Amino acid sequence: MSAPTSTSQATMTRTLRTACVAPALFAALAACTDTRTIFAPDTNRTYVQVERLGNPLVNEVFIAKRNHGVHNATSPNQDVANLAPEMQAFVNSFGRPAIVGQTLTQVLLPDELIVDPTKATNTAGWLSWALASGYGGRLLTDDVVDAGTAAIFGSLLSPTNTIPSLVGDNVNASQKPFLATFPYLATPNP
């Protein structure tokens, strides 16, 4: 072990050693056997991106399951190139006019949940930044599945070849009330 190089480092080293002799921590932290002095996160550590989500339904509805790995491992600045053709082809496969797929890819890609903090917070809601010059983001009460499927299969973007049976999921609200404090979500259904 190298010697501490400053008073603060020496203090940190002593703190770590003291913590390691506390019985409860000693039992819980196998790392206490490591006597190296730690001053900051290991800059040599390599993190691997395993998943990401921005807008609801982009991954789950538009992208084939076999391509989820690519979506999860790439970055938003690659989304237009990687995802737009598949998203538009998906919409076109249902006979919807090209404008529907084109509009959806323009609004949903890059796959980022956009918030405009310069707008009033009472205008928050999924895609409100695009549809109503609002705050954006997503409210817990937003029925994002119905909104998304209405855009894909309903008359929101075009009246041609709509598929009413695919608009909505027949779930109009959470079965349990949201909490007033963090994490706000109710416990999951068993």
Residues that bind Ca ion (CB under 5 A): 143, 145-146, 169, 171
Closer CB to Ca ion, 112 or 143, in the complex: 143
Closer CB to Ca ion, 122 or 175, in the complex: 175
Closest CA to 129 of 54, 61, 76, 181: 54
CB of residue 159 to Ca ion, shortest distance in Å: 22
CB of residue 161 to Ca ion, shortest distance in Å: 22
CB of residue 169 to Ca ion, shortest distance in Å: 4
Amino acid found at 72: N
Closer CB to Ca ion, 171 or 179, in the complex: 171
Q: Please report, to the nearest 10 degrees, the dihedral formed by the alpha carbons of residues 91, 93, 96, 99 taken in order.
A: 50
Closer CB to Ca ion, 86 or 146, in the complex: 146
CB of residue 164 to Ca ion, shortest distance in Å: 14
Closest CA to 123 of 144, 139, 106: 139
Closer CB to Ca ion, 107 or 145, in the complex: 145
Concatenating the DSSP letter of every residue in 126-177 gives: TTHHHHSS--BS--TT--HHHHHHHHHHSSSS-STT--GGGS--S--S-SSP
Closest CA to 163 of 83, 95, 69, 77: 95
**Locus of tokens 């039992």:** 27
Q: Which residue is nearest to Ca ion (CB)?
A: 146
CB of residue 125 to Ca ion, shortest distance in Å: 15
